[in-house]
Amino acid sequence: MRVALSGTPGTGKTSVGEALARRGHTVVEVNHLAKEKGLLGRRDRRRETREVDTAALDKAISEDERLRGAILVGHLSHLLTVDLIVVLRCRPSVLAIRLADRKYPEAKVKENVEAEALDVVLIEAAETGRPVLEIDTTAMSVDGVVEAMEEILAGEREKYAIGHIDWSEEVLGWF
Ligand SMILES: Nc1ncnc2c1ncn2[C@@H]1O[C@H](COP(=O)(O)OP(=O)(O)OP(=O)(O)O)[C@@H](O)[C@H]1O
Ligand SMILES: [Mg+2]
């Protein structure tokens, strides 16, 4: 089973992915993979990121035997051909702190906090038609999320079914 571990920047994908790798899982950062396969596109100066040709990347991943059972980590991973998408979530007010701790500029914090509040990644994931689960990491440790991921890999679905996480109350507080 190939799994995508996605979520808004700062929700903990890389931290959780690294911990899963230390526990013996095959974990690959989608961005590293894109670079390795020469599929990083144009530079987006404003966002300080580079575009990724997701279709070409998807093809390369599907043809790579080593990635058959991999956990693909990154905020684009839910757009790839996987058997299951796990979206990490974080309460917007807490995500704002995590991103500010990273010294992200205010505009970038705001952009990502808004995306989280509006379920952008979750909606994109659901639109793929593939199975999607979500983990609320707000009050969890990295190890706690790793445990949740291992429960999911062992077959748990109900506990992490989508539709229970709702940040609308926080959003209403913005007005
Ligand atoms: N429960 C948690 N799970 C994961 N990370 C957490 C948790 N609680 C706090 N953190 C912290 O939040 C930060 C998440 O950063 P990380 O780089 O893992 O996010 P990311 O989702 O990979 O972001 P990006 O999309 O920018 O790569 C880390 O500093 C991590 O220690
Ligand atoms: Mg990351």
Residue 156 sits in a domain whose CATH number is 3.40.50.300
Pocket test for ligand 1, best of 108, 112, 142, 149 (most atoms within 8 A of CB): 142
Asked if residue 133 belongs to a domain, the reply is yes
Alpha carbon of 31 to ligand 2 centroid (Å) = 9
- What is the band of 47 on the pLDDT scale with cuts at 50, 70, 90? low
Asked if residue 155 belongs to a domain, the reply is yes
Asked if residue 78 belongs to a domain, the reply is yes
pLDDT of res. 84:
98
pLDDT of res. 45:
66
Query: Which among 40, 41, 34 is positioned nearest to 59, based on CA atoms?
Result: 34
pLDDT of res. 40:
82
Asked if residue 175 belongs to a domain, the reply is no
Domain that holds residue 96: 3-164
* pLDDT tens digits, one per residue of 61-115: 999 999 999 999 999 999 999 999 999 999 999 999 999 999 999 999 999 999 9
Task: Using DSSP bridges, classify how beta strands 40-44 and 49-52 pair: parallel, antiparallel or unpaired.
Answer: antiparallel
Taking the alpha carbons of 28, 44, 106, 115 in that order, is the dihedral positive or negative? negative
Q: How many domains does the chain have?
A: 1
- Decide whether any atom of ligand 1 lies within 6 Å of the 7 Cβ: yes
Q: Would you tell me how many other CB atoms lie within 10 Å of the CB of residue 72?
A: 27
Asked if residue 173 belongs to a domain, the reply is no
The answer to whether residue 15 scores a pLDDT higher than 90 is yes
Asked if residue 95 belongs to a domain, the reply is yes
The answer to whether residue 48 scores a pLDDT higher than 90 is no
pLDDT of res. 65:
93
Q: What ligand 1 atom has the least distance to the C-alpha of 101?
A: 29
Alpha carbon of 98 to ligand 1 centroid (Å) = 7
Window from 10-14, 21-25, 50-54, 118-122 with minimum mean pLDDT: 50-54
Alpha carbon of 146 to ligand 1 centroid (Å) = 12
Tokens of 71: 């956990």
pLDDT of res. 143:
98
Alpha carbon of 12 to ligand 1 centroid (Å) = 3
Asked if residue 174 belongs to a domain, the reply is no
Tokens of 12: 């903990």
Asked if residue 10 belongs to a domain, the reply is yes
* pLDDT tens digits, one per residue of 101-148: 999 999 999 999 999 999 999 999 999 999 999 999 999 999 999 999
Query: How many Å separate Cα 95 from the centre of its chain?
Result: 14
> In this structure, are residues 153 and 96 in contact, taking their beta carbons and an 8 Å threshold?
no
Strand (E) or helix (H) holding 89: strand 84-89
